[in-house]
Amino acid sequence: MNKLSLYTTKNYSLNFDIKKRKPKQIKFLIFHYTGMKNEKNSIDRLLGYKSKVSCHYFIKSNGKILTIVPDLYVAWHAGISSWKNYKFLNKNSIGIEINNPGHNFKYKKFSKKQINSIIKLSKLLIKKYNIKNSNVLGHSDIAPDRKKDPGEKFPWKYLSKNNIGFWHDLASSYLLNKRNIKINNIEKKKFIKNLCKIGYPMNKNIKSNKYSKMITKAFQRRFRQELINGIIDQECLIISKNLTKKLNKFS
Ligand SMILES: [Zn+2]
């Protein structure tokens, strides 16, 4: 077996664009959870006509990986979404669904076997398509108004230690002292600006409290997983600053 191959079971979906894409169009890796109680039902949903949804890979609770749509066909997993200047990310991404009942049905920790498979598969795809670590994202990052997946139990920090995705480089003890400490309105604006620089979708409602709360929650699910309250505090601001600087260095 060569280095860029990994054993997966083929279990193809009917839901994909007929037109094949070029490997260089693949720029993003997007993680999801299934959000359903039952694993088999989630797989069936991704395969059948009616749902109009699919993904490229499915990671079962026992760590087994299914290929649902081959990489060079566009799968239907992201929906209305954006990141930086990219819109409707299906055409530029690979979607990975991970079995987990999600927030509506007793959200669970991802299993060790799932995490090991996520690491193996991601490493392979990142290398094969030359995907930037800053383009490894969750569904809630690119569609924060609609989605919570893969959620605050997704091991982003651990993945970043394995060179998958990105994380800040601040000590948790330092950050804990900044948690729940209020900031002023200018600092709040600064935070939202940082999120925009990182890549989070911004729109005309950017100044509304509702939008700010929603985008803050998406940020917290990703980078401050211990407390998801939609309130911008000093800890959130500091993390956003650190990430902005780090990502600037990358590009
Ligand atoms: Zn999703």
152-162: pLDDT as tens digits: 999 999 999 99
CA of 148 to the centre of ligand 1 (A): 8
Of 97, 152, 187, 235, which residue is the catalytic one?
97
- Ligand 1 mean position to 231 CA, how many Å? 24
Q: Taking 90 as the threshold, does the pLDDT of residue 250 lie above it? A: no
The alpha carbon of 144 and the centre of ligand 1 are apart by a number of angstroms equal to 11
- Tell me what the mean pLDDT of segment 8-35 comes to: 95
Distance 88 CA to ligand 1 centre (A): 13
Q: Rounded to the nearest whole angstrom, what is the distance from the C-alpha of residue 213 to the centroid of ligand 1?
A: 20
Task: Label residue 1 by pLDDT band (50, 70, 90).
Answer: very low
Query: What integer pLDDT is reported at residue 4 of this predicted model?
Result: 52
pLDDT in tens, 134-157: 999 999 999 999 999 999 999 999
- pLDDT tens digits, one per residue of 188-203: 999 999 999 999 998 7
**Per-residue 3-state assignment (H helix, E strand, C coil) for the chain:** CCCCCCCCEECCCCCEEEEECCHHHCCEEEEEECCCCCHHHHHHHHHCCCCCCCCCEEECCCCCEEECCCCCEEECCCCCCEECCEECHHHHEEEEEECCCCCCCCCCCCCHHHHHHHHHHHHHHHHHHCCCHHHEEEHHHHCCCCCCCCCCCCCHHHHHHCCCCCCCCCCHHHHHCCCCCCCCHHHHHHHHHHHHHHCCCCCCCCCCHHHHHHHHHHHHHHHCCCCCCCCCCHHHHHHHHHHHHHHHHHC
Q: Is the pLDDT of residue 2 over 60?
A: no
95 against 9, higher pLDDT: 95
Work out the pLDDT band at 5, boundaries 50, 70, 90.
low
Average pLDDT over residues 102-108: 96
Question: How confident is the model at residue 73, as a pLDDT?
Answer: 97
Give residue 127's pLDDT band: very low, low, confident or very high (50, 70, 90).
Answer: very high
Is 235 annotated in the active site?
no
Query: How much distance in Å is there from the Cα of 126 to the middle of ligand 1?
Result: 20
